[in-house]
Amino acid sequence: MPVFAILLLLISASLHALWNLLLKQSQEKYIAMGWQVLISGVFAFLILIFTGLPPRSMWLFAIISMILEAVYFILLSNAYSDHDFSLVYPIARGTAPALLMIWSVLFLREKLTAGGVLGICMVVCGMVIIGATSLIQNRGSRFHFKGIITALAVALTISLYTLIDGTAVKNGPPLPYALTMFMFVPVLTTTYNVRRFGWEHFLSAWNGPRIPLITAAVLGVFAYLFALFAYSFAPLSYSGAIREVSVVIGSFLGWRFLGEKMGGIRVLGATVIFAGILVIAIFG
């Protein structure tokens, strides 16, 4: 695994955790996320004026990815209202790299080393360990079949749009591709938000603090750009697993700035994830 790719993915994960931290402080988190996506689209459009559109060979990938990203957003929005989702969401984040590894081998013909597979498995195990914290803290709650299915659906969506994007940027320029995708995703997500919450309710979030929304939007664009540049020359199976370190960084930021509990289990999970990344870097 190229060291430069690992560096890009760690930067991407850090930026991803930062914009999530900003949105986490909003009262209406998924309405705020809707605005973040919308502002990202405007920001991407402004840059796209100077970069130009991607080659036509990438347009189909961008359209499919846009649809999958919108599905991902809608799944998260629905799951946010289900308490059980807070317990099974780490399953989604942990399952996604495992699914991506399968797709990468099947469709991209990536050849994984034994050490690389071990590293991916360690990252997945670390995610499950971190998820155990939520289970312990909510031991009075019950798992519902619907919540588990939703988590697996999120994992499948993540793995699929990562596969599509990784395939696209291995055959074309990452920057105009990413900007085109960011520009069109809000068409679907904003339509969904307005239908679900109502225009007045959705608009009210804009009347609150705007700087966090704008900052989160800019960070979100750059976070995914760094990831796509890594995808363009590094094995996608390894890259998708390493990018999940954003969950660890997010947990640390939540502990440091929001007073959330870190706990020994999360520290153990973070240690396993970082060890997995180290294994991928050396043996992948």
Predicted pLDDT at 228? 97
Query: What pLDDT band is residue 45 in, cutting at 50, 70 and 90?
Result: very high
In this predicted model, what pLDDT tens digit does every residue of 122-160 receive, in sequence order? 998 888 887 766 656 555 455 566 767 887 888 899 999
Output the CA–CA distances (angstroms, integers) from residue 152 to 87, 88, 132, 163, in the order listed.
13, 9, 17, 16
CA distance 92 to 124: 10
Orientation of helix 211-231 relative to helix 174-197, angle to 10°:
140
Predicted pLDDT at 200? 86
Output the CA–CA distances (angstroms, integers) from residue 69 to 37, 81, 129, in the order listed.
10, 19, 27
Q: Residue 120 CB: number of other CB atoms within 10 A?
A: 26
Output the CA–CA distances (angstroms, integers) from residue 225 to 1, 91, 158, in the order listed.
19, 25, 16
Q: Which residues of 129-142 are buried (b: 16+ CB within 10 A; e: fewer)?
A: bbbbbbbeeeeeee
In this predicted model, what pLDDT tens digit does every residue of 177-230 receive, in sequence order? 999 999 999 999 999 889 888 888 888 878 777 888 899 999 999 999 999 999
Sequence-separated (6 or more) residues with CB below 8 Å from residue 22: 212, 213, 215, 216, 219
pLDDT, average across residues 263-269: 80
**Are the C-beta atoms of 221 and 43 separated by less than 8 Å?**
yes
In three-state form (DSSP H/G/I as H, E/B as E, the rest C), the secondary structure along 120-133 is HHHHHHHHHHHHHH
Predicted pLDDT at 67? 94
Q: State the average pLDDT for the chain.
A: 86
pLDDT, average across residues 56-84: 83
**Residue from 98, 94, 68, 92 nearest 153 by CA:** 92
**Are the C-beta atoms of 241 and 124 separated by less than 8 Å?**
yes
pLDDT, average across residues 228-244: 94
Query: What pLDDT band is residue 268 in, cutting at 50, 70 and 90?
Result: confident
> Is the pLDDT score of 82 beyond 80?
no
Residue with the larger pLDDT of the pair 274 and 12: 12
Predicted pLDDT at 66? 93
Predicted pLDDT at 254? 78
- Residue 233 in 3-state DSSP? coil
**Are the C-beta atoms of 167 and 61 separated by less than 8 Å?**
yes
